[in-house]
Amino acid sequence: MMGRFKGEMYPPITMMRMTAIIRGRVQGVGYRCFVTDCVLKTGITGHGGDLPDGAVMIMAEGDDETLKKYIKMVQAEGDSLVHVEGLEVPGSKPTGEFSGFGIRRRGHMRIYYRSGDPES
């Protein structure tokens, strides 16, 4: 892929999809809000929500480097309220189905941003 300047080359961007299952003290401590802040900082797309066993599930798509950064961020190292005990992250091929990021809570999806929004 050519860059803006003559002869400048960029490596190809590898899009990825990941589904993370986060276990630990992630309920009732503002973790969904924290996850959304991480999304807004990285610009990934996808959705997340609570699982019946108390874990949080996040399905996200983005380029490989951005997803790695996001995964590190959602571990909430050093946070006094959130305590992530486990993070399972199987990767797969992206589908491109997401146009923003939302959190599902009590059966309802709240969209926090859509690609193309002025603030994104």
Q: Is-contact 41 62, C-beta < 8 A?
A: no
* pLDDT top residue among 14 and 65: 65
Range(s) of the domain holding residue 89:
15-114
The domain tally of the chain equals: 1
Per-residue pLDDT of 94-117, as tens digits, reads 778 877 777 776 665 555 555 554
In a domain, 54, yes or no: yes
* pLDDT top residue among 17 and 13: 17
In a domain, 71, yes or no: yes
Q: Any residues with CB less than 8 A from the CB of 84 and at least 6 apart, and which?
A: 22, 23, 24, 26, 74, 75, 76
Give the per-residue SS3 of the chain: CECCCCCCECCCCCEEEEEEEEEEECCCCCHHHHHHHHHHHHCCEEEEEECCCCCEEEEEEEEHHHHHHHHHHHCCCCCCCCEEEEEECCEECCCCCCCEEEEEECCEEEEEEECCCCCC
In a domain, 22, yes or no: yes
* pLDDT top residue among 66 and 120: 66
In a domain, 7, yes or no: no
Stated pTM of the model:
0.70
In a domain, 3, yes or no: no
Q: Any residues with CB less than 8 A from the CB of 12 and at least 6 apart, and which?
A: 1
In a domain, 43, yes or no: yes
pLDDT at 73: 92
In a domain, 1, yes or no: no
Tokens standing for residue 100: 């923003």
* pLDDT top residue among 54 and 88: 54
CATH number at residue 78: 3.30.70.100
Percent of the chain clearing pLDDT 90 (strictly above): 9
In a domain, 10, yes or no: no
Tokens standing for residue 6: 């003559």
